[in-house]
Amino acid sequence: NAGVTQTPKFQVLKTGQSMTLQCAQDMNHEYMSWYRQDPGMGLRLIHYSVGAGITDQGEVPNGYNVSRSTTEDFPLRLLSAAPSQTSVYFCASSYSASGNEQYFGPGTRLTVT
């Protein structure tokens, strides 16, 4: 199986534009999440989902929306991009919401000018 996949790998946006970062997993994992990682900093949780139809906010949710219509997919929408959202975005999944190991995608490197 492919594990966790993310598209695109790289994206440049202008301030005010919107876009959707795609994340998919083929492991039938219940839990999925989005993190951002800024240079020299740790991971910060944006949004997470404990199952289809259920989402919740992490520690830095402002400016982002998510939905979970299927078990496999968990897209992250940037509503109106700002330079402060320049970051690397990682999607992760685990078998359960209190899962031991989490599997990460390769990341999307986003630049907002």
Which residue's CB is nearer to other proteins, number 67 or number 104?
104
| Residue-wise DSSP of 69-86 | SSSSB--EEESS--GGG-
Q: Vertex 50, ends 46 and 53: CA angle to 5°?
A: 95
Quick check: 38 binds other proteins (CB under 8 A)?
Answer: no
Least distance in Å: CB of 41 to other proteins? 10
Burial of 101 (0-12, 13-18, 19+ CB in 10 A): exposed
Least distance in Å: CB of 107 to other proteins? 5
How many angstroms separate the CA atoms of 69 and 85, rounded? Answer: 25
Which of these segments, 16-24, 55-63, 64-72, 73-81, binds other proteins (CB under 8 A)? 55-63
Query: Could you list the residues that contact other proteins (CB under 8 A)?
Result: 4, 31, 33, 35, 42-43, 45, 48, 50, 56, 58-59, 90, 92, 94, 97-107
